[in-house]
């Protein structure tokens, strides 16, 4: 499991990887929240369930991260731990079900950082090479 921060002139980018596509997606979610908060200070005590469907893995990644952003804004929850199961293929599409764990935002303890406005299709990539799954994302800040 790894997160690599990418240089980007106007926005922020990262590449998350893992031994499975689920781990790569969960690491991407962790990278997203690491941009916005000190995730090591977020306790995983409140659970939010997520179920998603998309035609491609790239679309599923956008939906996953976008739903987490929406929940942050609507519920005031910030997340630090993620679990996801992905099924499907390019023919029938993909589905994912999982959960995000966190707690209500505490602006002092969680140390807000960069505000993320949305997830961009620019630079988006999902791949697998030599058994390592990678999710590359650029976010609008």
Q: What is the pLDDT of residues 32-75, one digit of tens each?
A: 999 999 999 999 999 999 999 999 999 999 999 999 999 999 99
Identify which of 114, 108, 115 has the alpha carbon closest to the alpha carbon of residue 73: 115
Q: What's the CA gap between 3 and 80, in Å, rounded?
A: 14
Domain at 26, CATH number: 3.55.10.10
pLDDT tens per residue across span 92-109: 999 999 999 999 999 999
Structural domain that includes position 73: 2-140
Residue 21 has pLDDT above 70, yes or no: yes
What's the sign of the alpha-carbon dihedral 28, 112, 67, 50?
positive
Q: Give the pLDDT confidence score for residue 23 in this predicted structure.
A: 98
To the nearest 10°, report the CA torsion of 139, 41, 102, 60.
20
Q: Residue 103: how many CA atoms within 13 Å on its side-chain side? A: 13
Rounded to an integer, what distance in angstroms lies between the CA atom of residue 50 and that of residue 133? 21
- Intra-chain end-to-end CA distance of the chain, in Å: 25
pTM, full prediction: 0.94
Domain count for the chain, please give it: 1
């Amino acid at each position: 499991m790894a997160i690599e921060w990418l240089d980007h002139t106007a926005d922020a980018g990262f590449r998350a990887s893992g031994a499975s596509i689920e781990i790569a997606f969960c690491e991407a979610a962790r990278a997203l929240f690491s941009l916005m908060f000190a995730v090591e200070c977020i306790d995983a005590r409140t659970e939010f369930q997520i179920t998603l469907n998309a035609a491609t893995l790239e679309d599923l990644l956008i939906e996953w991260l976008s739903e987490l952003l929406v929940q942050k804004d609507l519920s005031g929850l910030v997340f630090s731990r993620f679990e996801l199961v992905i099924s499907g293929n390019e023919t029938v599409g993909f589905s994912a079900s999982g959960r995000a764990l966190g707690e209500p935002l505490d602006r002092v303890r969680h140390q807000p950082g960069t505000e993320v406005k949305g997830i961009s299709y620019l630079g988006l990539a999902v791949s697998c090479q030599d058994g390592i799954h990678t999710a590359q994302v650029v976010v609008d800040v």
